[in-house]
Homo-oligomer: A and B are copies of this chain.
Amino acid sequence: MVTTAGRAPQRGPRRASISDVAQEAGVSLGTVSNVLNRPDRVSPTTRAKVLAAIEHLSFVPNGSARQLRAGTITTVGAILLDIANPFFTEVARGIEDRLAQADHTLMLASSDEDPEREARYLRLFEEHGVLGMLVTPASTDLEPLLELSRRGVGVVLLDRTSPAEELSSVAVDDVAGAAMAVEHLLSLSHRRIAFINGPQSIAQCVDRRAGMVRALEAAGLDPDEAMVEITVSSLNAEGGEAGVTELLAAGTAPSALFCVNDLTALGAMRALRSHGLAIPEDMAVVGYDDVNFASMLMTPLTSVRQPTRQLGEVAADLLLKAAGPGMAAPQRIEFQPELVVRASSGGAR
C-alpha cells in the first residue's frame, strides 16, 4: 500500500455545492435553491439552465446543510430488539412501507437486547435530528425515552404497552397470548411445564411470564411447582439450545415446554432432538410469534400469532401523526393474539 506523504488524501475533488451550480449556470444562489424546492417560481429558461448545470456537475445537495437550516425532517429511527428475528424484520417491513408512502425514510438498528447499544442508537438518532423513533425497549427503565419525548422527539413504543401516559405505544397483549399457550398445554393434561424465558429487563419476557402464571393459577396450580423456569440471556436459537441443555441437566424434566419466542423454540427443539427426545411424545413444545417457517418445521410448531406487519404499520402511522402538525395526543393501541395449534404440542388433530 502506498501512503501519500503528510496529509490525508482528499476524498475526491470536493463535492459540488449550490454556489458552484449557480456560477456554472450564471444565476444567483437563491435561484438554484428555488429550482430545487419551488420550481414553479422560476422561468422555464432559467430552470433549464440550472438543471443542466446540476447534471453537468452531478450536484447532490448536502443533506446536513439542508436539515440544519430548514429543519426538514423526513427520517425516522427504529431500534428493534433483534433484527435477525423474523418477527422483527416483518415489523420493520410494515414500518418501512408506511414511511415510504409518506415519503419518509427509515434508519434501522438492532439493540440486540443490550440497553447500552440501545442508548447508543438513541443518542445517535437524536443527534441526527430524526423526526421520531420507534423503539422496542431493551430495558425496563423508560426514563430516557420519556425525556426524549419531552424534548420534542416523537417516541412510539413498539411491541410494548406504555406504562406512562405520555408515550404512544403499539403492542399485542402478551399476557393473554402466553395464557392461551399455557391453557392449551394444560388442556392436553400437562401439569408441569418448563418455560424458557429471557431476562426480566425485557417487557415481553415479564408479560409472557405473567400470562403463564395467570393460566396456571386459573387452573388451580401453584406456579412455584408447576412452572420450571429457565432464564437464558438471548432470545434466539442459541438461547433455546442452552435452555434445554440446562433443563435436561437438572433431571426430572416436565412433559411440556413453553418458549418465549419461536427462535428460542427452534433452538430448543434442535437440542431436544439431539438428546434423543421426541416431539411432542417426550416433550410438547409451544413457541411465540408464529414466524414464517413455523409451519414448515420438522415438527410444525404450535405458536401464538400476532398481527406483525400491522404492528409496524400502525406504529409508523402513530409516529407520523404525533410528530406532524396537530400533534396528536399519545395513544395506546393493543392487538389481540391468536393461538395456532400444530403438531409440536401434540394438540393438532
> How many copies of this protein are present in the complex?
2
Query: A129 — nearest CB in chain B belongs to which residue?
Result: B64
- Among A290-315, those with CB < 8 Å from B are 292-293, 295-300
Kindly state whether residue A83 has any CB partner on chain B within 8 Å: yes
The answer to whether A3 has its CB under 8 Å from any CB of chain B is: yes
Q: Which residues A117-149 have CB closer than 8 A to chain B? A: 117, 121, 123-124, 126-129, 147
Q: Is the CB of B293 within 8 A of A15?
A: no
Q: Are A328 and B1 in contact (CB under 8 A)?
A: yes
Residue A326 interfacial (CB < 8 Å): yes
In the complex, what's the smallest C-beta–C-beta distance from A90 to chain B, in angstroms?
7
Residues A92-110 near B (CB distance < 8 A): 92-93, 96, 100, 105-110
Q: How far is the CA of A108 from the CA of B123 in the complex (A)?
A: 17
Say yes or no: is A58 at the interface (Cβ < 8 Å to chain B): yes
**Contact between chains at A93 and B86 (CB < 8 Å):** no
List B contacts of A147 (CB < 8 A): 58
Question: Min CB distance, A230 to chain B, in Å?
Answer: 20
Q: Which of B92, B292, B296 contacts A298 (CB 8 A)?
A: B296
**A61 is an interface residue with CB less than 8 A from chain B:** yes
- Given contact pairs A293-B297, A325-B9, A86 touches B86 in the complex (Cβ within 8 A): yes
Chain A contributes a number of interface residues (CB within 8 A of B) equal to: 64
A62 within 8 A of B: yes
CA distance A67 to B128 in the complex (A): 10
**How many whole Å from A154's CB to the nearest CB in chain B?**
9
A143 nearest CB across to chain B (Å): 12
Q: Does A270 contact B (CB under 8 A)?
A: yes
Chain A residues with CB under 8 Å of chain B are 1, 3, 8-9, 11-13, 15, 58, 60-68, 83-84, 86, 89-90, 92-93, 96, 100, 105-110, 117, 121, 123-124, 126-129, 147, 150-153, 237, 266, 269-270, 292-293, 295-300, 323, 325-329
Given A12-B151, A62-B68, A269-B296, 8 other A-B contacts at CB below 8 A?
Answer: A64-B67, A64-B68, A68-B68, A84-B93, A266-B296, A293-B297, A297-B298, A298-B299
24 cross-chain CB contacts under 8 A:
A1-B329, A8-B325, A9-B325, A11-B152, A12-B153, A15-B151, A58-B151, A60-B126, A61-B127, A62-B129, A63-B129, A64-B64, A83-B83, A83-B93, A83-B108, A89-B89, A93-B110, A105-B109, A107-B107, A266-B292, A266-B296, A293-B293, A297-B298, A298-B298
User: Ordered nearest first, which 8 A-B pairs have the shortest CB separation?
Assistant: A12-B152, A63-B127, A11-B152, A108-B108, A8-B325, A64-B68, A64-B64, A64-B67
